[in-house]
Amino acid sequence: MNRGSGVLLPIFSLPGNCGIGDFGKYAYQFIDFLYDTGQMYWQVLPMNPIDPIYDNSPYSPLSSFAGNPLFISIEGLISDGYLSKNESCYTNEGNYIDYNNVKQLKYNFFRKAFSNFRPKNDYYRFLEENKYWIEDFSLFISIRDYFNKPLMLWPREVKIREKESIRELENKLKNEIEFNKFLQYQFFRQWFNLKRYANKRKISIIGDLPIYVNHDSGDVWSHPNIFKLDDNLNPRFVSGVPPDYFSKYGQLWNTPVFDWNQLRKDNFLWWIKRYNHLMKIFDYIRLDHFRGYSAYWEVPYGEKTAVNGKWIKAYGFELFFQLKRLRSDLRIIAEDLGYITQDVKNLRNYYSFPGMKVLQFAFDGNPKNEYKPHNYDSTNYFVYTATHDNNTSIGWYQNEATKKTKIDFIKYTRINNIKEVNWAFIRLALGSIAKTSIIPIQDILGLGSSARINTPGTTGNNWRWKLTNLYIPRYVKSRLYDLTKIYGRI
């Protein structure tokens, strides 16, 4: 990995004529912006199917393999002849996504496009290449829509996949199953066209792999044996993190945990399939909650907090060994933020995975703070001004930084102008010894807290922010390019 830099922008946060970012023209324009400013990477968030029940979080998807149909471009369907030109989509919803409205709007177009779809060899090849997951997922999502209920509320005979019940539903929902396969075909077809364009412009895509999967997912329904579940597919244990300085009761994530002993029996086949699938989609993968590959916090199902959990050993060493046998260059980035013990560091270092540094964590008055750039002990890091879980840099300074923090920041950066806070962070990131620096688009544009993507521990207003256009002033582009060049990242 050469010294370089890139920009963090989720697909949904792109401008979009249908009220959400997608794989249409703005995605291509954004790649042009990256190219013009000397960037090497575009980092995105997980692109799997989401649901309002789970706050539309990309980290609580309905599948680890399938794509989010809302990212399918209507203009792309028009260009490919599935829709007529007068069926173009346009809605102006400002900076916040209304997911219910977007889904209703887009699915009306999807139904029309499907009615005009005539399968060809490319489609059948796609189904064959993705047979490990697409049949089960298309059936799962069709049944879920039919019952209009999450997996845990399905009739038991369907939940545990009794053959007769499943056969009956397959017949009843045949057209819907084909419709959902069509959506996946279009998602990946459009995505790979976009990725090819990015790669031709020397832009690599960094994807994101959440360690856990939603209980209400095609993964749990199709592979219940790799999770700690009871006979009714209810979790016996769920995920979380223990109490700490920031949280008296810890965090209860309530996703089922893996049965690592079971995974081990077939040499981590499900994980290998998942990794290989994502490495077709992305050029690099960030592993969310990396510490969970060494040991994870397991809480008995039904607990109201994470207090009564315990640490359970995971087999990350063996998993990565198996992956390494198949691919020498794993292209993995370890999200090693938070409570990190020596065993986690050993795992990261053994496989030489780059870790992460977040500059917003640097300013506590301690000159030895590990997030301050002068304390980086290696070039093998990805340094961020902020991540999707942080405020924007301007928002952080205005609304979160204490007086002590601001004093430390001002002394360190020699900046005392609110309009320059974001650029002070950008300069620190680009100028650090870290091999790669990633900057959220909000910091490049100097946006405040209203452009925050996610506030952990809250629901209702996350994963909604998006750009309304891709107008980026020439002086901003020039400044980003100049700093990128000055610090040897071009």
pTM of the model: 0.97
pLDDT in tens, 59-71: 999 999 999 999 9
pLDDT classification of 88: cutoffs 50, 70, 90 = confident
Over the stretch 288-303, which tens digit does the pLDDT of each residue have? 999 999 999 999 999 9
pLDDT of residue 261: 98
pLDDT number for residue 203: 99
Name the percent of the chain lying above pLDDT 70. Answer: 100
Write the pLDDT tens digit of every residue in 318-359.
Answer: 999 999 999 999 999 999 998 899 999 999 999 999 999 999
Q: Is 335 an annotated catalytic residue?
A: yes
- DSSP single-letter state for residue 12: G
pLDDT band at 305 (very low <50, low <70, confident <90, very high): very high
Q: Of 268, 267, 273, 319, which is closest to residue 293 (Cα–Cα)?
A: 319
Q: 285-321: b or e for each residue (b if 16 or more CB lie within 10 Å)?
A: bbbbbbbbbbbbbbbebebeebeebeeeebbbeebbe
- pLDDT of residue 91 exceeding 90, the answer is no
Catalytic-role residue among 303, 343, 389, 420: 389
CATH fold group of domain 1-204+454-490:
TIM Barrel (3.20.20)
Domain segments of the chain as ranges: 1-204+454-490, 223-353
Q: Does residue 457 register a pLDDT over 90?
A: no
Query: What is the per-residue pLDDT for 245?
Result: 73
Per residue in 98-119, pLDDT (tens digit) is 999 999 999 999 999 999 999 9
Active site residue 408: no
- pLDDT band of 1, cuts 50, 70, 90: confident
b/e map 246-272, b = 16+ CB within 10 Å: eeeebbbbbbbbbbbeebeeeebebbb
> Which of 468, 443, 459, 464 is closest to 387 using CA atoms?
443
pLDDT value for 444:
99
416 band by pLDDT with thresholds 50, 70 and 90 = confident
| pLDDT score of 488 | 98
- Determine the pLDDT at residue 306: 96
Does the active-site annotation cover 176?
no
Active-site residue identified among 51, 288, 298, 443: 288
Tokens of 313: 């050993």
Which residue among 219, 335, 336, 408 is the active-site one?
335
Task: Report the range of poorest mean pLDDT among 72-81, 108-117, 245-254.
Answer: 245-254
Q: Is the C-alpha dihedral spanning 24, 26, 32, 37 positive or negative?
A: negative
Strand partners, 332: 285
Model confidence pLDDT, tens digit, residues 115-174: 999 999 999 999 999 999 999 999 999 999 999 999 999 999 999 999 999 999 999 999
